[in-house]
A and B are shown apart, each in its own frame.
Chain A
Amino acid sequence: MVEIKNLTKYYGSHPAVQDISFTVGDHEVLGFLGPNGAGKSTTMNMITGCLPSTAGTVLVDGYDIAKDPLEVKRRIGYLPELPPVYTDMRVRDYLMFAAGLKGVPRDKRAKQVEDAMERLHITDVQKRIIGNLSKGYRQRVGFAQALLGSPKFLILDEPTVGLDPKQVMEVRRLIKDLAKDHTIIFSTHILAEVTAVCERVVIISQGRIRAVDTIENLENSVSSERKLCLKVEGEITKVTDIINSVEGVSSIDEIEFESDGVSSYTVTASSDTVRKPLMEALLAKDCMVLEITAIHANLEDVFVRLTAPTKEESFEELGRQLDAAREAEEAAKQSDKAESSGEEDAE
């Protein structure tokens, strides 16, 4: 179990991380989510003992990182944002060295290195010099390094950055696979990734925790209101009147012209139960309902909402953060696109 208690880090007078607390249970996959510059890497560096904290502690299996750093480090495999690989070494030599550094007994090193290379599919490049490998391969070599010494906890800082869509899929599959016998904390600013692999999410922004919960709960927490999308054939004025007249409909947010006489309406309703009366009312007035779908609030909404600035934060920060959130959204969209194309490839 990893317990993080009131972790705080100041760089000079600038607070990078403030008062972060959460726990990670055994065999759990925890997503660490936040816009760029939110303090994700700083927190991870503190958990792994690379960076001492200004205040607060990290307990790994009951060992304090400040008091028993070696015991903690023995239990943790860390893949930093930039894989810590020596570019002038060969893959296999590097992994053997890393295994030695992590205190793996001499007779077990070769076996562990083989296993790690197998898992990351880098066995065929083991004789090559790391500097000549592509970013994706280097990332995987770094990942293999984190697995050495069979640590109980894996801390992965943006493990899929720089990988092609197919490799991203592979890494996600690997994380799921590793979750069987490891506890994993991994950070990302790509939302699709979190939904794909994590059970629980910690959202941080501006160095503060905004939420710690399961994805489901977070999605539900955004609002109790339901959004419906209707495609109806009929005159727009007539249809809007009918929709507005139904009890439970709070507003029509958007009307979009689709094709001859068909328009789509985005409706906010107080609950799901409004669907039936809505359909009945429309059909009674001879308006054909071609499609009705419930729009779920997704993690992106949660993310944008939670990472939005609070009142006491200055306007400057506000602008910066919105930019970051927008970027993150964009990245998520792109990765979604990339992922779907990757899936096609895989098929």
Chain B
Amino acid sequence: MFSLYKKEVQSYFCSPFAYIVSALFLLVFSMSFIQGISNMDSSVFKFSFSNIFYNNFFYFIFMIPLLTMRTFAEERKSHTETLWLSAPITIPQVVLAKFFAVATVFLVMMLLSLFFPLVAAVKGSVIVSSLFCGYLGFFLWGMVCIAVGMMMSALTDNPIIAAVLGETAMIFLIFIDNFAATDLVTSLPFLQKVLRWFSTEIRFNTFSQGLFTLSDLVFFITITAVVLIWTIIIIEKRRWSRG
């Protein structure tokens, strides 16, 4: 399993792939940063990194599928999946290895973004607890996105379709709040309750306020785990029907 993880990480970093996506991520992050500074209230001179993170959620929709679209779709297309299907390694191990590999790339991207709080710390003061929780929430949300992206990649053999499917699923996850606020849903309190429970925005908000609640942590980890298990099931299922 470690070999596969290592190979996956290498395939991101030994090609321009990880660098280009990281660069795009930093570009978007820096723009949010500049926007945050320029929109500062002149009386208090405060701005929130959490807002930047929150803005970045939307860009994530387009960035995370770039990382995950190839994971399974390309293997199917180039017939390399027979390599790990015929090797003494289980499918859960394969999925985990690939998941951790993408998570590693994502972690590197996040570490690079630490540049902005550091710059801010030089010229002002940063509330570390809030920043830490913001990063934690950001990371957990990223894990959910990666899992969803991988699941979509397992559904098809075309990386582009995988990316589009992943984006669609993430848009749905992000806008589930807005959907819960519609008249139709508010007229059905039970449905609204369920939908709001799945809302990532509400949960991220607690993180962004520097609050760390166990239930939110469990929520993100559970969602990630459930989606990964679905991915395993999808691959097993496709194994039965492949030619």
Contact = CB atoms under 8 A, between A and B. Distances in A.
A87 B11 CA distance: 11
**Which of A50, A80, A101, A103 neighbours the largest number of chain B CB atoms within 10 Å of its CB?**
A101
B35 interface: no
B15 interface: yes
Contacts of A102: 87-88
Interface residues of A, number: 32
B87 A51 contact: no
A84 B15 contact: no
A70 B84 CA distance: 11
Contacts of A101: 3-4, 83-84, 87, 89
B82 interface: yes
A78 B86 contact: yes
Interface string A84-107: 111111000100011111110000
Contact of A80 (B15, B82, B239, B241): B82
A297 B90 CA distance: 48
A69 B84 CA distance: 12
A240 to B, nearest CB: 54
A315 to B, nearest CB: 25
A84 B81 contact: yes
Contacts of A98: 83, 87
A226 interface: no
A154 to B, nearest CB: 12
Contact of A82 (B3, B6, B7, B79): B79
B194 to A, nearest CB: 36
A269 to B, nearest CB: 48
B239 A51 contact: yes
A73 to B, nearest CB: 4
Given A82-B79, A85-B80, A97-B7, A52 B239 contact: yes
B3 A100 contact: yes
Nearest to B97: A101
**Which of B82, B84, B241 neighbours the largest number of chain A CB atoms within 10 Å of its CB?**
B82
B240 interface: yes
Contacts of B6: 97, 100
B104 to A, nearest CB: 16
B225 interface: no
Given A102-B88, A103-B88, A145-B83, A52 B240 contact: yes
Contacts of A99: 3
A74 interface: yes
Interface in B1-54: 2-4, 6-7, 10-11, 14-15
A247 to B, nearest CB: 57
A129 B5 CA distance: 20
B79 A84 contact: yes
A50 B85 contact: yes
A16 to B, nearest CB: 8
Contacts of A57: none
A239 B206 CA distance: 105
B97 to A, nearest CB: 10
A48 B239 CA distance: 13
A273 B240 CA distance: 56
Nearest to B8: A97
Contacts of A88: 11, 14-15
Contacts of B213: none
Contacts of B88: 70-71, 73-74, 102-103
A309 interface: no
Nearest to B11: A88
A73 B7 contact: no
Contacts of B79: 80, 82, 84
A76 interface: yes
Contacts of B83: 84, 98, 101, 145
Given A49-B85, A78-B86, A87 B78 contact: yes
Given A89-B7, A102-B87, 12 more contacts: A52-B240, A73-B87, A80-B86, A84-B80, A84-B82, A86-B7, A97-B6, A100-B2, A100-B3, A101-B87, A101-B89, A103-B87
24 contacts: A48-B82, A51-B239, A51-B240, A51-B242, A52-B239, A69-B90, A70-B90, A71-B88, A73-B86, A78-B82, A78-B86, A80-B86, A84-B80, A86-B11, A86-B78, A86-B80, A97-B3, A97-B6, A97-B7, A99-B3, A100-B6, A100-B7, A101-B83, A101-B87
Interface of A: 11, 42, 45, 48-52, 69-71, 73-74, 76, 78, 80, 82, 84-89, 93, 97-103, 145
Interface of B: 2-4, 6-7, 10-11, 14-15, 78-90, 239-243
